[in-house]
Amino acid sequence: MPTPVSVARQCLAEAAAAVLDDAITVAKRRSHAQTTSLHIVSALLALPSSTLREACTRSRSSAYSPRLQFRALELCVGVALDRVSVSKSAVDEPPVSNSLMAAIKRSQANQRRHPETFHLYQLQLNSDSLNSSSMSAVKVELKHFVMSILDDPIVSRVLGDAGFRTQEIKMAILNPLTMSRFSSTTSRPPPLFLCSLSDLDLNNFPFSEDAATEKVDENSRRIGDILLKSRRRNPLLIGVYASDAYRKFVDCLKRGETGVLPKEIDGLSVVSIEHEISECISSEEMMEVKFKQVVEMLQDCQGPGFIVNVGDLKAFLNVKSVDVVNSVVSKMKGLLINPGGKLWLIGFLSGDGDYKKLIERFPSIEMDWDLHLLPITTSSIGENFMRSFVPFGGFFTMPSELESLCTTATKSSRLCNLCNEKYEQEVSDVLKGVSTNSVADKQSVNLSSWLQIAECETSNRCLTVEAKEDQTILDARVTALKRKWSDICQRLHCSSTSQEDITLPNPHTSFQNFHIQKESANVSPCMPSDFQTIYLPKQEIIPKPVVLSTSVDTQSEIRVQGLELNDFQNSSASQKKMMSLPIACTSSPPVTTDLTLGTTLSDSAEECRRKPNLQEHYNGIQHSESSLSYDILSHQVSQSSSCSYHREKQMYTKDLENSWNVLAEKVYWQVEAIQTISQTVSHCRNGNGRYHCSNKGNVWLSFVGPDKVGKRKIASAVAEIVFGGKEHLLSFDLSSQDVISPFNSIIDCHDPKYHKMKSGRKMIVDYLADELTKHPHSVVLLENVEKADLLVRIVYLKQSKRVNFRFPWKGNQHQQQCFCPRIDCPKEDTDTVKSDDENDDSDDSEVWLEELLEHVDENVAFKPFDFDSLTQKILKKIDARLKQVGGSTLLLEIDREVMVQILAAAWLTDGKNALEDWIEQVLCLSMEEARQSCNVTSDVVMKLVQYDGLVVEAQASELCLPARIKVK
Amino acid sequence: MGHSLLEALNVRVVGSGDRILVLAHGFGTDQSAWQRILPFFVRDHRVVLYDLVCAGSVNPDYFDFRRYTTLDAYVDDLLYILDALRIERCTYVGHSISATIGILASIRRPELFTKLVLIGASPRFLNDKNYHGGFEQSEIEKVFSAMEANYAAWVNGFAPLAVGADVPEAVREFSRTLFNMRPDITLFVSRTVFNIDLRGVLGLVRVPCSIIQTAKDVSVPASVATYLKNHLGGRSTVHMLDIEGHLPTSPPLICWRRNSGERCPGDDEGIGRKEGKKSFNWGIMDRHVANICGLFFSPK
């Protein structure tokens, strides 16, 4: 039950209420059903100088430029907001969501708890809420409001994505004077909260990068505490989880892990007499030998000492002769009373019943061994528990139920590729509630008749799908499907070689992956390495709005409808997002000029081009044109599945030639590259590749040169040509700290492939491995290989050397170890590689790149995209059109930004005549409209500029430009 | 945290008397959960109230995600408070998670406690062979996913279940305190709670215990009370309350029961006013409250 806005507003002081109002506007504009904390953040960031912005500035990492990090933050917030589902019915004031209201309540409580803080920092506001103890009367000040908002997991996540730590931001808000969180506490103003700042563990925030991973096992910590005591210092663990905790602790010591024990006794070694104890019934001699050994060790002992682990003391209960045990106990007692206090003992019992018996039989053991009872009631943090931390990363995302169901369903499958695909297909159909003809039904043609009947029954049961599905029914259905397909798979394809490729990622592996990813993020001085790939691509294309302003002396402003970009994404309805891409008009002072239209245009364009600024834009589009940009394309050709073989064959026999030609037409500026690619692909298919194809049918190509868009277009076309569909392309951007320019975001989001990477913070390699197990017939595009961080490079290099590009690292212990150790390498080492501006090519990376390039089947050179001639072409077209519309009396000045926008659109578009159509149908019409509206017949100069502030309502077909231009 | 722990956990000592009563609230609530119980004890008890570190009323910054992975850390807090207040003997009333904390505290420091009153206690929530804790692992996972997916929805669904009775005020009150908790902390604590297993240590308890269990509790099956009685090391008794829900002490619930239950003469004045009266007449109290409060002290 969301709270009405008015109620929420009453809880807020003036400034905070204003922010809430802004947030409501944001939510309303995006047609969201509720106003959430995210909207608040968005509103706060929109203000040029807000508490949040300032705090961010002060707490931001010095590793990046502030502009970059803020840009990243805006992107992240934008992306997060885009995920919020759009409400169907427009609400005037989207009510305040429960979580936001809870945040407001928390801030009220906080404010009430810390009146002195409040007093200190809000003197000027002398609000009467100061002395009020009543909860409802507390008006939340902006600062407290922001603090609470920062507690919202979704907000911390978004901030974390942009490389901020909420905890640090909070510190910055609380300490407006402190510049660095590392400054000593004495130089700070007095602590604001009850605890001193040193008590607040900064790394301790749940959503900070490393907090989740470096959990010290609490049980082990407690054991360590007991060891430090002067008496009763030998822990006897009791409880269901005692043996678990015991093993965990002992294993840590055996591995020599540091940080488990308190500093004073760090480095304690372990002597196990577990075995001897359990055998002590039979061989007293063994016990003797062991004790002698312990005595010797004790004499030679250098470090803090050692701990004798006696294991499960239940062994004593099974002994027939009490004397044997008594002798062991007394001998052990003798050892434990050693002068240096260098010997400890640890053991466990799994239940209190056993303990009672132990004490009954050996009443003195507790005293003799100086035992400390430690009840263990929680399992040591094993993978089970750790796994529970993983969701925090994606906490509060709102994945559609279908999606999550789908992934769990597919992940758990253990089918051959072919069956898996069909199984997935059916699952998705069931989830969509579509009553399909089961593929299995067709499949069952191959089955014996009795099997067919059984199968049909299953599928019929599965297919009575109602529109509204109960989750449990769905679950059951998916399970049934899974069973069915694994049956089919076993019967039909049990010989399939690819079966082992679809290994279930066991929890342990995925945990490790998670861990690694975190580590790598730590090493990286920049934002999480997968930030670019995962989040940036999801950023909507934001065509810069275009404004047409007539140079007539009319000050009246005509508001015209904005444009909307919804269609652009060809995404599902649920993903519909409103674009803030408005077009508006400004009135500019009259301009008199005697230049003809054509000249004006080319002149201004020329001028623009000469400006370094525009060149920058070009570079932005071109994506680091100055430096060579390497991308690697790899075809994943499956050798195991017969199905793909047929399809390939079909494709080859059919219009393969034709397809390449079509591609060459579409990406007309890379004809040579396309030729090379087509040749290499067919060569490799015939087994003539330089490296990999000879073996497994995989083709490796490196795309060298600029023109990111061309590469992508070609890659997706290759996927279509070779595997029959664009969906067979997997794109990965390996650059870990790419400069985020709006143009990149335009380009990135243009590729719908990139939207697949929304699942969370997986490492690229894991994601890739996952995807490849699901879709083994794929073209993989690895962009910015030269910018890949060290870890990724190693893995890819390994893979390329491995010849077989079947990505075996998932679930392959050996492979994991291959790159785990590298994480431990000194920070400087990785830093040098990563601090790549233009010249990151330290020796290391150059060597690496060369090595990689040697191992591909072909290097394909890409030419830079010729923006100059495209500009000329566009201008000529516009010129010609304008002449038709307005003759020589009409002049059009195109703003530089707009021109860049148009160029980018032209570069990106797949539609052959899309730009021409746009010029004709959008630009010219608008100019006509503008001319009529100002009703001037004499010479007119119009200006096309971009406008931020209105919502773009429609996207031109096949073109990343607004479908309407606003006339002012 | 040092001395400030008392402030951080909003420790309050109210009432006067020789006997000391510690009231520890359960999961998802805070010390306000005792507000209807409190009046009956302040006259002749020093009542210690505090909030668990995970409560919404505590500054979430205090919640150390590394420390509070087991209930032992909560036990540390409780013992610290008792020591800081120089309490040598006390009766401890713990609800839900706090009942478990009390059990563990009494194992560590048996001399501190004269008696434990365990309301809605469970040594383990998950079923096991030969043990019925009420939950299957898979169910729990579903609950956790639900919490992760949509906390608000989970709270709105869970609160009525936990309250049990159809008392909107009680549901609202529980939702309020639940919403006060930071969602990630709620999830974390839930996981901690579902991870515990006290079965192997119950025998170590020496302190006498009163186990109070409602007839129908969504979190704790009635059989658990019997299990506790049979396995706790000290003298223990079970008191079944003929009501529903995991929150028998919920203030609105008590109010409601008082209003809907049998009325005794003189009850119209309301509980709050009774405080000032010199003689405390148990007869005019609501039967339910009398039940609960009486049970805190019944077996000597």
Among partner residues B70, B179, B197, which is closest to A240 by beta-carbon distance?
Answer: B197
The β-bridge partners of B213 are: B240
- As a whole number of angstroms, the distance between CA B195 and CA A434 comes to 40
Among partner residues B4, B144, B197, which is closest to A239 by beta-carbon distance?
Answer: B197
Question: What number is the average pLDDT over the span B72-98?
Answer: 93
- As a whole number of angstroms, the distance between CA B177 and CA B162 comes to 13
Contact A98 B192 (CB under 8 A): no
- As a whole number of angstroms, the distance between CA A102 and CA A805 comes to 50
Residues from chain B contacting residue A203 (CB–CB below 8 Å)? none
Lowest model confidence (mean pLDDT) among A169-178, A376-385, A834-843:
A834-843
Is A218 within 8 Å of chain B by CB?
A: yes
Choose, out of B54, B66, B175, the residue to mutate when testing the contact with A (most A CBs < 10 Å).
B66
**How many CA atoms lie within 13 Å of A810's alpha carbon, on the beta-carbon side?**
26
- As a whole number of angstroms, the distance between CA A183 and CA A370 comes to 45
Chain B from 217 to 236: CB within 8 A of any A CB? 233
Span between the terminal Cα atoms of chain B, in Å = 37
* Count of other CB atoms within 10 angstroms of residue B215: 12
Instruction: Quote the pLDDT of residue B110.
Output: 94
Question: What number is the average pLDDT over the span B259-264?
Answer: 44
Instruction: Quote the pLDDT of residue B74.
Output: 94
Is B8 within 8 Å of chain A by CB?
A: yes
Higher pLDDT among residues A341 and A583, named by residue: A341
Instruction: Quote the pLDDT of residue A704.
Output: 77
- As a whole number of angstroms, the distance between CA A535 and CA A111 comes to 35
CA A347, A350, A355, A361 dihedral sign is negative
Environment class of A761 (CB within 10 Å of its CB; exposed 0-12, middle 13-18, buried 19+): buried
Whether A2 and A34 have beta carbons less than 8 Å apart is answered as yes
With both helix axes pointing from N to C terminus, report the angle between B151-163 and B183-195 in degrees, rounded to the nearest 10: 50
Residues of B annotated as catalytic (active site), given as ranges: 96, 217, 246
Contact A195 B72 (CB under 8 A): no
- As a whole number of angstroms, the distance between CA B249 and CA B25 comes to 9
Nearest Cα of chain A lies from the Cα of B64 at a distance, in angstroms, of: 7
Is the pLDDT at B231 greater than 90, yes or no? yes
- As a whole number of angstroms, the distance between CA A357 and CA A438 comes to 63
Among partner residues A216, A378, A396, which is closest to B195 by beta-carbon distance?
Answer: A378
Nearest Cα of chain B lies from the Cα of A397 at a distance, in angstroms, of: 7
Span between the terminal Cα atoms of chain A, in Å = 43
Instruction: Quote the pLDDT of residue B23.
Output: 93
Chain A from 795 to 834: CB within 8 A of any B CB? none
In chain B, the residue whose alpha carbon lies closest to the alpha carbon of A194 is B4
- As a whole number of angstroms, the distance between CA B190 and CA B177 comes to 15
Residues shown for chain A: 968
Higher pLDDT among residues A511 and B89, named by residue: B89
Higher pLDDT among residues A12 and A721, named by residue: A12
Q: How many beta-carbon contacts under 8 Å exist across A and B? A: 155
Residues from chain B contacting residue A217 (CB–CB below 8 Å)? 69
Residues from chain A contacting residue B2 (CB–CB below 8 Å)? 195, 199
In chain B, the residue whose alpha carbon lies closest to the alpha carbon of A207 is B184
- As a whole number of angstroms, the distance between CA B56 and CA A419 comes to 50
Nearest Cα of chain A lies from the Cα of B156 at a distance, in angstroms, of: 9
Is B1 within 8 Å of chain A by CB?
A: yes
Residues from chain A contacting residue B124 (CB–CB below 8 Å)? 240
Choose, out of B58, B62, B64, B69, the residue to mutate when testing the contact with A (most A CBs < 10 Å).
B69
Is the pLDDT at A560 greater than 50, yes or no? no
Instruction: Quote the pLDDT of residue B207.
Output: 93
Is B24 within 8 Å of chain A by CB?
A: no
Residues from chain B contacting residue A215 (CB–CB below 8 Å)? 65-66, 69
Among partner residues B67, B72, B184, which is closest to A392 by beta-carbon distance?
Answer: B184
Instruction: Quote the pLDDT of residue A337.
Output: 81
Residues from chain B contacting residue A388 (CB–CB below 8 Å)? 144, 191
Residues from chain A contacting residue B60 (CB–CB below 8 Å)? 106, 151
pTM of the model: 0.44
Whether A36 and A99 have beta carbons less than 8 Å apart is answered as yes
Is the pLDDT at B5 greater than 80, yes or no? yes
Which residues are within 8 A (CB) of A280 and not within 5 positions of it... i.e. 6 or more apart? A286, A287, A315, A319, A324, A325, A328
Among partner residues A98, A241, A353, which is closest to B203 by beta-carbon distance?
Answer: A353
Instruction: Quote the pLDDT of residue A672.
Output: 82
Is B196 within 8 Å of chain A by CB?
A: yes
> How would you write A338-352 as a 3-class SS string?
CCCCCEEEEEEECCH
Instruction: Quote the pLDDT of residue A858.
Output: 75
Among partner residues A195, A242, A396, which is closest to B4 by beta-carbon distance?
Answer: A195
Is the pLDDT at A19 greater than 50, yes or no? yes
Written as six digits, the tokens of A400 are 């559609």
In chain B, the residue whose alpha carbon lies closest to the alpha carbon of A101 is B179
pLDDT digits (tens, 9 = 90+) for A21-69: 989 988 888 888 888 888 998 888 888 777 788 887 777 655 567 777 7
Is B204 within 8 Å of chain A by CB?
A: yes
Which residues are within 8 A (CB) of B122 and not within 5 positions of it... i.e. 6 or more apart? B99, B100, B133, B134, B219, B220, B224, B228
Proportion of chain A above pLDDT 70, given as a percent: 46
Whether B217 and B137 have beta carbons less than 8 Å apart is answered as no
Contact A113 B195 (CB under 8 A): no
Among partner residues B8, B155, B200, which is closest to A195 by beta-carbon distance?
Answer: B8
Is A373 within 8 Å of chain B by CB?
A: yes
Is A166 within 8 Å of chain B by CB?
A: no
Is the pLDDT at B198 greater than 90, yes or no? yes
Instruction: Quote the pLDDT of residue A301.
Output: 77
Instruction: Quote the pLDDT of residue A744.
Output: 43
**Long-range CB contact pairs, A471-474, < 8 A, 24+:** A471/A401, A474/A405, A474/A430, A474/A431
Contact A109 B200 (CB under 8 A): no
A791 pLDDT band, cuts 50/70/90, is: low
Contact A395 B195 (CB under 8 A): no
Residues from chain B contacting residue A193 (CB–CB below 8 Å)? 59, 61
Residues from chain A contacting residue B144 (CB–CB below 8 Å)? 388, 391
- As a whole number of angstroms, the distance between CA A671 and CA A656 comes to 16
Chain A from 78 to 137: CB within 8 A of any B CB? 97-99, 101-102, 105-106, 109-110, 113
Is the pLDDT at A540 greater than 90, yes or no? no
Whether A237 and A346 have beta carbons less than 8 Å apart is answered as yes
* Count of other CB atoms within 10 angstroms of residue A341: 12
Contact B61 A193 (CB under 8 A): yes
Among partner residues A102, A195, A204, which is closest to B180 by beta-carbon distance?
Answer: A102
Contact B204 A355 (CB under 8 A): yes
Among partner residues B72, B180, B182, which is closest to A222 by beta-carbon distance?
Answer: B72
A763 pLDDT band, cuts 50/70/90, is: low
Question: What number is the average pLDDT over the span A165-173?
Answer: 78
Chain B from 55 to 74: CB within 8 A of any A CB? 56-57, 59-62, 64-67, 69-73
Question: What number is the average pLDDT over the span A716-729?
Answer: 76
The angle subtended at Cα B203 by Cα B197 and Cα B204, nearest 5°, is 95
Proportion of chain B above pLDDT 70, given as a percent: 82
Contact B183 A215 (CB under 8 A): no
Nearest Cα of chain B lies from the Cα of A260 at a distance, in angstroms, of: 13
- As a whole number of angstroms, the distance between CA A16 and CA A143 comes to 8
Collapsed DSSP state (helix, strand, coil) of residue A373: strand
Contact A375 B203 (CB under 8 A): no
Instruction: Quote the pLDDT of residue B46.
Output: 92
Whether A836 and A787 have beta carbons less than 8 Å apart is answered as yes
Which residues are within 8 A (CB) of A552 and not within 5 positions of it... i.e. 6 or more apart? A590, A934, A936, A940
Lowest model confidence (mean pLDDT) among A295-299, A381-385, A788-792, A914-918:
A381-385
Is B141 within 8 Å of chain A by CB?
A: no
Is the pLDDT at B94 greater than 90, yes or no? yes
Nearest Cα of chain B lies from the Cα of A454 at a distance, in angstroms, of: 29
What pairing do the DSSP bridges indicate for beta strands A630-636 and A778-783?
antiparallel
Is the pLDDT at A297 greater than 70, yes or no? yes
Which residues are within 8 A (CB) of A822 and not within 5 positions of it... i.e. 6 or more apart? A790, A791, A794
